[in-house]
Structure 1
Amino acid sequence: MLLCAACAMQAKERVIERPPFIAWNSTSIEIDKLVISDTATVAYIKAFYRPKFWIKIAKGSFLADPDGQLYPIRRGIGITLDEEFWMPESGEAEFQLVFPPLPENVTWVDFSEGDMEGAFKIWGIQLDKKAFYKRDLPKEAIVHKINKEAALPVPEFAYGKATVKGKIMDYREGMPQAGRLHLLEPLRWTSSLQEINIHEDGTFEVEIDVITTTPAIFSFPFAQVSCLLAPGKETKVLINPAEYCRQQSQLHKNAKPYGKKAYFEGYLAALQQELSDNTIKTNLAGNPRSHFDRIADKDANSVKEYFTELRRNTLQEIEKADMSRAAKEVLAANTDNTTAINILMADDMMKQAHMFTQKLNREQANEYYRDTRIEMPEDFYSVLKELSINTPANLYTPEFAYIALVARRYQELLQKTLGTSEGVLFQTMEALKYYRSIEDFTPLTAEQKATLDALPEPAYKELLTALNNELLRKIEENKKKSGFTVNEVGEVSNEELFSSILAKYKGHVLLVDFWLLGADPAAWPTKR
């Protein structure tokens, strides 16, 4: 009798191992298993977070079914609700969350901690895995055949509007209603963030001024997708958050794909598809710390050989890939951009590598950084002549903005090494000089406006003129405002500016806000 009772109890349980899901807003918690019985729904959670940091599950957490019925959390097992749960050294942990039972006809649920800032949310947790895998993709999910002989078009310069029309697959009420467009253009790279409003049907549309082929990133809480924009061109993108999140998931990344993370139509759609699908890492400068163990306390030539070997290996991987000539050219150019960044900043990285691997404290690190000077061999930078960092193909790459900003510190060196002061890199560096003035809230002078004509591409002048006019408009608007006092500090050096501001308040308590308005590597001081 007891055996029969146990079998009957087990028969009433539904167990969904690693249920697929539509989207999430954090990679910190994942559902390893759902066990649904007549008495409870138990979510077996695996947490992935920084060691010795904490996460928390709110008492107000709940599951919600397609009809809007809520199933409030009852308790945690292995975790206390509303209390800090400290992650172990491994950065991984397990616990269970207990909810009321779910009706048999429910095919998916959402998990939410509520609407407070930072709340964990997982949308569309699938209770019927077979049905989910059999679902049809929308008609907009067009897969382009790769034309291996397709050449990369030379980007055209023109000041005009680029249009993006997008749609989020499986979008539903309760999912985030906004995202951002980040333009990876050298001039506005550190300041260009445009808000995106998502409509109820998951569609969105953006128009933005650009001057040539320009990479951009769409960032949502549940997905991040790169695309290419161009003046007068329309890009259509269908974003598949389920596949994007699967690729980010620790538990699902090796599972069967749910399609592509994005589908493209319109401007260079086939190329955009290839670049979106690419898994070859071409940003060799994205994580400097990853190089520290290899370059710490090595001589300059050994460091150069390390970075050039890294480049060679990446280019070989690109050449072997099943891609078009166009896609390979873009990936190779991005590899060269980031190799150049590593070479140009090698002396700085060598210092940082020593400080990191030797585990110097702050005082020791400051002293070492201040007192250490690394002499680079005379021919150290000659390798830059082998890199494609000054060609039109670079305009397609996401890291061209980064190399343009870094290169400003080394403009004279680059001119001497490359034997030219012309080309897209030098033209961009010249335009950056004018944009920095505008970004610093200083309108262009008559002399600067006159020299804009010297830029080889008129589109730069049109963009800079438009940005300058917008700055003048803001200044005039600000002049009309009241309720504050503007204090003049006079002619003082940058080093004395803060002391000059504080001088008139000597003997008083003063609250000061510090704002980081940009991240231009060319403006980095020697001592950080």
Structure 2
Amino acid sequence: MLTCLLALLSMACLAQKTIVNPLVGFDGKNRNLKIVKVSLTDTGTVVSFMTTYKAGNWIRIPKNTYIQANGTNDKLFIKATKGIPFNKKYTIPESGKVNYELVFPKIDPTTSNIDYGEEGSEGWKIYDIELVQKQTPLPAFLYTEWYNKKNSDLTIAFYSKAVVFDKKVWFYKEIAKKNDTYILTIANNKSTKQIIIEKPGDKEIKLTVNKLTANLSSDKNSCAEILDKEIYKLPVLKNDSAVFSGYIKNYSPKLGTKILTLAIDNIITGIQENVLIHITPDGYFYRKIPVCHLQKVFLRSDIADENDLYLEPGKELFVILGNGSVKYAGNAAQLNHHLKQLNRIDQFDFVRMRKKLADMKPNDYKAHLLDLQSIESVKLDSINKLGKIPAKAYQVKKKDIVFEYANRMMEYHWNYEHARRQVFKLPDTVKVKIENYPDGYYNFIRDGDFNNELNVISNAYNTFINRFKFIPGFRKTRYVHNYKAMMAALKSEGQQASENDKAFEKIISNDGIILLTDSTNKRIHKKWAADHSEFINTFVSDFFRNSYYNAIDSAVGIKQGILIDLLSAQDISRPIIEQLTPLSAGRLASVIKKIDHPYLKDYVILKNTETLKQVELNKNAGGFFVNETPKVEADKIFDNMMSKFAGKVVLVDFWATWCGPCLGGISRIKPLKEEMKDSNIAFVYITNETSPLPTYQNMVPTIKGQHYRLNNDEWGYLADKFKISGIPHMVLVNKEGKVVNPRLGFMENHELKQLMEKHL
């Protein structure tokens, strides 16, 4: 009888095993999702979740949601849901919380951990969910971040795999316990430290390292804070660098992500630069980055996206990513923490005001924005008067408010059209009539402080420069060439006049018009235009630019200063850097006369020098291949090119050297190419004769992959084949050489990676 009873009890245990609040591995992008319980039965596996999200937003459990036992390739797909509908949108209730269960097939009872995943690159994923209730060597409450009670600095953080201390990642070597005291020996490479934890409580501990003792709390808000009273002062712009480092909690190489990308908007060149940061196998990363002023940066990766990171010259920012909000350490931590918190006072919400905006005239829209700006500014001032924020954070946010609302006021035409289309469900074929901006609309520029070098501490000032550059209604659309003025400008650069130049000057009338009376004069003009094509393009661009600035100056009174200097620096340096077309000494000396600010002058000269060096280095660069266009009939060109890459997935990019969005896309995809360099994938770049050969030859060595430069007829055929109406245009070809997607829209790197891997 006793034997039967024991057998029944044993069967019951096998039939139901529950793990409450299981330990999980990496959970970086799932800040709103928590596994509260996993139940293993003889009929299935039930995973219980709690999701916290803003009320009114929605979530959905996709049909291909799965669990997967570690060490296997088999995905067990969802069978049912409880507390939430399956594969349908579910609106978050007013409480902001929802508890639900997902039912999956039965797993092997000996499984120690599983992964959870949802379909799509943006689907929630949780790795290494522990199904064995382990006895942790430290009390569970210790596994978190701990802050110094005297200054609220992040002092130490304990995690299941590592310890973060002194902006480094350490690993547990020994753990001893004596009464209520824990003695830890931790190691970082060959270095070791002894850590003593005394008087452990739910939220407070006493920590001793190297005979130095501090009282710590896991509640940052309960700690005192010594606010920095220093402010940014002129000059702001200077040559310097910042250190960006950090740790990804519970990182595992199996995630497949080995690189982080920092996107940096360079306010001097107008180019978004991508800085690649390699992740070590233990989840640590480090990079020293040149910055010339307080710089907002954007972290992009498969495992963490952060839009509110600030690098400061001469300082270090250490971040802890994953399983919750980002944590900051280092001497740039306080500024980052408070600027992140100040986002809560933001009033502008396009989605919320969309219906109202759809019926707004320009001045109504402007008045509404000024009201919101006033509310934000008052809230910020109130917080500042309470002594709750450091001086620099107040200074930056104050400028952010000014420029963000200035930008929105200059975006009426975009926002109005977008709102009309969404509210009234208008198709793209229906044109939205947009009312002209009334007189005096831009007076906020005249009345504002837009020519102050301190403005560069605001990332929104960079956007303002772009919006200012393209204010509707002030730009000329036509230019009649004045060759007399061109020749005068050419001579001022000190260039040696050729015999053809002298001959060309003789066929120009006093009005600046060419006297094309015979074939000889036409030949002289054609050669002159070819010899000075770069100069002519710049001269004409300068005409449109100067006429635009003169019109803006008359309307809003913007004089020469940091704003115009930055616009000039961007106009000069952008083609130098993006198209690898450095200027000659004479041309450079001429164009930088447009810039008054000495630092900006020197910066443009530096970038020109760096580009000259890069062009020389590229002559010996590897990793790129320029291919001859196959000599076949037009309808066979593409297939013939693709046959070279048989057995590989091919991403084809139609581009041009002069196409800004093309160059931006090529730069953005660079970390993905690095990450997938060992995969069976080919990256093919196709351009045509509109990409000038010298520029093309300079640029190609910086673009790893296979290259083709077609003539106009060959390009025309492929443009028709793939319905290319504009570039960049990307095409995906599978391993069999079949086009599986003739027109790839914009995709983030992780989405593109997933799509290509699907066809491997």
TM-score of the pair, normalised by structure 2: 0.52
8 Å CA contact 2:265–2:272 kept in 1: the answer is: no
Match of residue 87 from structure 1: 88
Equivalent in 132, 136, 143 of residue 135 of structure 1: 143
Question: Quick one: structure 1 residues 20 and 87, their matched pair in 2 at CA, closer, same or farther if it must change by over 3 Å?
Answer: farther
1:124-523 alignment runs, 5 A limit:
125=129, 132-137=140-145, 138=156, 139-140=165-166, 145-147=225-227, 149-154=229-234, 156-175=236-255, 176-187=257-268, 191-225=272-306, 226-230=308-312, 233-244=314-325, 261-266=326-331, 268-280=332-344, 282=346, 284=348, 288-321=350-383, 322-364=388-430, 367-368=431-432, 372-385=433-446, 387=448, 389-410=450-471, 412=549, 415-416=553-554, 419-438=557-576, 441=579, 443-446=581-584, 448-450=587-589, 451-452=591-592, 454-455=594-595, 456=597, 457=599, 458-466=601-609, 468-469=611-612, 472-473=615-616, 476=619, 482-485=626-629, 488-489=689-690, 501=712, 505=716, 510-511=721-722, 514-515=727-728
Where 2:319 maps in the other structure, the secondary structure is: strand
450-459 or 304-313, which deviates more = 450-459
Rounded Cα–Cα distance in structure 1 between residues aligned with 2:690 and 2:17:
73
Rounded Cα–Cα distance in structure 2 between residues aligned with 1:15 and 1:303:
55
1:68-107 Cα shifts (integer Å, max 9, x gaps): x76965552227xxxxx74347599963234537679x7x
8 Å CA contact 1:113–1:121 kept in 2: the answer is: yes
- How far the C-alpha of 1:440 sits from its partner, in A, is 5.3
383-392 or 190-199, which deviates more = 383-392
Match of residue 111 from structure 1: 115
Higher strand share: 2
1:366-402 Cα shifts (integer Å, max 9, x gaps): x33xxx3512221211123455544344322333332
Letter in 2 for 1:431: A
Letter in 2 for 1:44: S
Percentage of identical aligned residues: 13
Letter in 1 for 2:628: F
8 Å CA contact 1:180–1:193 kept in 2: the answer is: yes
Gaps of 5+ in 1: 80-84, 245-260, 492-499, 520-528
Match of residue 525 from structure 1: none
Rounded Cα–Cα distance in structure 1 between residues aligned with 2:298 and 2:440:
37
Rounded Cα–Cα distance in structure 1 between residues aligned with 2:380 and 2:144:
32
8 Å CA contact 1:110–1:121 kept in 2: the answer is: no
Where 1:301 maps in the other structure, the secondary structure is: helix
8 Å CA contact 1:178–1:220 kept in 2: the answer is: yes
TM-score of the pair, normalised by structure 1: 0.72
Q: Provide the aligned length of Structure 1 versus Structure 2.
A: 469
Question: Quick one: structure 1 residues 15 and 311, their matched pair in 2 at CA, closer, same or farther if it must change by over 3 Å?
Answer: same
Match of residue 37 from structure 2: 34
Letter in 2 for 1:193: N
Question: Are 1:62 and 2:68 matched, yes or no?
Answer: yes
Question: Quick one: structure 1 residues 417 and 467, their matched pair in 2 at CA, closer, same or farther if it must change by over 3 Å?
Answer: farther
8 Å CA contact 1:453–1:461 kept in 2: the answer is: no
- The higher radius of gyration belongs to 2
Letter in 1 for 2:464: I
Letter in 1 for 2:280: H
Where 1:330 maps in the other structure, the secondary structure is: helix
Where 2:254 maps in the other structure, the secondary structure is: coil
8 Å CA contact 1:51–1:89 kept in 2: the answer is: yes
Rounded Cα–Cα distance in structure 1 between residues aligned with 2:459 and 2:238:
20
8 Å CA contact 2:270–2:574 kept in 1: the answer is: no
8 Å CA contact 2:41–2:106 kept in 1: the answer is: no
Question: Quick one: structure 1 residues 116 and 324, their matched pair in 2 at CA, closer, same or farther if it must change by over 3 Å?
Answer: closer
- How far the C-alpha of 1:305 sits from its partner, in A, is 0.9
8 Å CA contact 1:55–1:86 kept in 2: the answer is: yes
Where 1:472 maps in the other structure, the secondary structure is: helix
Rounded Cα–Cα distance in structure 2 between residues aligned with 1:454 and 1:224:
39
Letter in 2 for 1:461: V
176-185 or 288-297, which deviates more = 288-297
Rounded Cα–Cα distance in structure 2 between residues aligned with 1:58 and 1:423:
57
Rounded Cα–Cα distance in structure 2 between residues aligned with 1:158 and 1:214:
12
Query: With CA pairs under 8 Å and 6+ residues apart, which has the higher RCO, 1 or 2?
Result: 1
442-451 or 203-212, which deviates more = 442-451
Match of residue 496 from structure 1: none
Where 2:470 maps in the other structure, the secondary structure is: helix
Q: Give me the CA root mean square deviation.
A: 4.7
33-42 or 394-403, which deviates more = 33-42
- How far the C-alpha of 1:116 sits from its partner, in A, is 10
Rounded Cα–Cα distance in structure 2 between residues aligned with 1:116 and 1:383:
45
Where 1:212 maps in the other structure, the secondary structure is: coil
Letter in 1 for 2:273: S
1:447-491 Cα shifts (integer Å, max 9, x gaps): 551122553124422453245336634775699954235753599
Match of residue 675 from structure 2: none
